A and B are shown apart, each in its own frame.
Chain A
Amino acid sequence: TQLLEQSPQFLSIQEGENLTVYCNSSSVFSSLQWYRQEPGEGPVLLVTVVTGGEVKKLKRLTFQFGDARKDSSLHITAAQPGDTGLYLCAGANTNAGKSTFGDGTTLTVKP
């Protein structure tokens, strides 16, 4: 069974601070997705990374896939209250038909 561990589980910061969330596994994935879920809603896809060492930027969010494709990180610069939510990573392998989800990091950004 492939497992994804996310850390930290909870994070509460002030507006304007930077933060990094981690997603780690002992297994190799062919791709990894990051999702954000707001209270009362379903998760929404933020980004997919597929190549070892790949870095993708989405405005103030920077996503990196580990060289060995076993881990990933999400860095947020100058966090805003609108970034508040549950961040989930999910790993998948080609032809598996399904993904393995981490338990998520709950981020609260205080104004």
Chain B
Amino acid sequence: NAGVTQTPKFRVLKTGQSMTLLCAQDMNHEYMYWYRQDPGMGLRLIHYSVGEGTTAKGEVPDGYNVSRLKKQNFLLGLESAAPSQTSVYFCASSFSTLAGGPNEQFFGPGTRLTVL
């Protein structure tokens, strides 16, 4: 199993450009997440999904959109990139917690995005 994979690994954008980050998982997880990590600020949740076709806002959703058309994929889009979106982006997935299980998340290797 590859676990959680992210594409691309690195990207440099100019202000105003758009791009899509792809996350894929092969563990049949129901839940998927997008985080950004900035120096000294830990992980901040952007958007998440508790199932195919559903998405929800996290704590820092502005400037980002997501889609979960297939259970194994979760896409993060930046419509008009800004320098403030320079960060490392992590995708994660987990099993459903509806049966009371813990929210153990499995993370991808990250995408390093620079917006000039």
Contact = CB atoms under 8 A, between A and B. Distances in A.
Contacts of B100: 30, 94-95
A101 interface: yes
Interface residues of A, number: 26
Interface stretch (A11-19, A42-50, A56-64, A70-78): A42-50
B36 to A, nearest CB: 12
Contacts, number: 67
B102 A31 contact: yes
Contact of B103 (A9, A44, A98, A104): A98
Contact of A50 (B45, B102, B107): B102
B109 interface: yes
Interface majority SS (helix, strand, loop, mixed), chain A: loop
Interface of B: 4, 31, 33, 40-43, 45, 48, 50, 56, 58, 90, 92, 97-98, 100, 102-110
13 contacts: A33-B103, A33-B105, A35-B107, A41-B109, A43-B43, A43-B107, A44-B107, A88-B43, A92-B103, A94-B97, A98-B48, A103-B40, A103-B42
